[in-house]
Amino acid sequence: MTAEAAILPFPHRHLLGIEGLSPLEIGHLLDQSETYVEVNRQAEKAKSSLLGRTIVNLFFENSTRTRTSFELAAKRLEGDVINMSVATSSVKKGETLIDTAMTLNAMHPDVLVVRHPDSGAVKLLSEKVNCAVINAGDGSHEHPTQALLDALTIRRRKGRIAGLTIAICGDIVHSRVARSNIHLLTTMGARVRIVAPRTLLPTAADRFGVEVFTDMREGLDGCDIIMMLRLQTERMHGNFFPSIREYFKFFGLDYEKVALAKPDALIMHPGPMNRGVEIDSDVADDFGRSAIREQVEMGVAVRMAVLQILAANLPSTDPRNL
């Protein structure tokens, strides 16, 4: 089956989060991403499904993986990509998020890929523009393409998602990656555990449909997937743990803790990693157990699929010209 032939209706103009997507829709996004994994491993990668479309990357927060892979994804589909540098834009002169969005909208882009430090900001922006909007991470709310690439990695390595026991460990309270993964993995039938010190758990953690653990040893016991999270010190105001040393001792992933999971348990981390803080360097680089590099590879395929699927929903004529 070719990548172009696999397109099915996707009844959403934007991708703002995983919450609310059906198992069928998530499955379709993953199936479409799968076709691009093979495309990306060939010497000739170009596909023309974004020909004539303009994609603007608008990142109000730093990024290596997400921004680069969206740019690469759009270019591999022959779209035109603009990376707007917020640091040198009129945002620095006081222009608001909405005025920035309206200004970009007046230039008729087809897709805006937006990362913003405030939860809900990307949805707000999506209500003001005519184009499709992809949430590339909003505050501690959602990071949908990260959850999709994590799910694709798991599905390829384990052959399924349903029935797996997946432990998401670390700074849950500040993590949009955790939220999107909880929505996706529970929707697809996985048994999800969240593991963190009490101070790094959301107040309503027991309402997420997951099992909650404050002891790594119990949380990792017999699990199929260990998904570690970065300590997001930039979002912390006050003290959440006594010291980095103590955090690593109780919640950092080393071989002693890995041994509590199933012998073939997969180790994941969305990046960027803090080596020696939430994960031991040797564990992170253990190519027999760690899928961290593969997650990055899957990111390009997922973003190609998301761009293609949303672009297929765009009208062929800009509604402002009618």
Residues near ligand CP (CB under 6 A): 63-66, 137, 146, 270-272
Q: Supply the minimum distance, in Å, between the C-beta of residue 307 and ligand CP.
A: 16
Q: Supply the minimum distance, in Å, between the C-beta of residue 321 and ligand CP.
A: 35
Q: Supply the minimum distance, in Å, between the C-beta of residue 134 and ligand CP.
A: 13
The 3-state DSSP class for residue 299 equals helix
The residue among 63 and 105 lying less far from ligand CP, judged by its C-beta, is: 63
The residue among 66 and 126 lying less far from ligand CP, judged by its C-beta, is: 66
The residue among 52 and 272 lying less far from ligand CP, judged by its C-beta, is: 272
Answer yes or no: are the C-beta atoms of 55 and 74 closer than 8 Å. Answer: yes
Q: Supply the minimum distance, in Å, between the C-beta of residue 59 and ligand CP.
A: 8
Q: Is 45 exposed, middle or buried (0-12, 13-18, 19+ CB in 10 A)?
A: middle
Q: Cα separations (Å) of 209 from 6, 182, 224? A: 33, 8, 18
Answer yes or no: are the C-beta atoms of 51 and 79 closer than 8 Å. Answer: yes
The residue among 47 and 116 lying less far from ligand CP, judged by its C-beta, is: 116
The residue among 28 and 67 lying less far from ligand CP, judged by its C-beta, is: 67
Q: Supply the minimum distance, in Å, between the C-beta of residue 254 and ligand CP.
A: 22
Q: Supply the minimum distance, in Å, between the C-beta of residue 180 and ligand CP.
A: 11
The residue among 3 and 182 lying less far from ligand CP, judged by its C-beta, is: 182
The answer to whether the Cα torsion of 265, 270, 272, 278 is positive or negative is negative
Q: Which of 207, 206, 211, 230 is nearest to 222 (CA)?
A: 211
The answer to whether the Cα torsion of 133, 134, 135, 136 is positive or negative is negative
Contacts of 167 (CB under 8 A, 6+ apart): 193, 194, 195, 213, 219, 220, 223, 225, 226, 227, 261
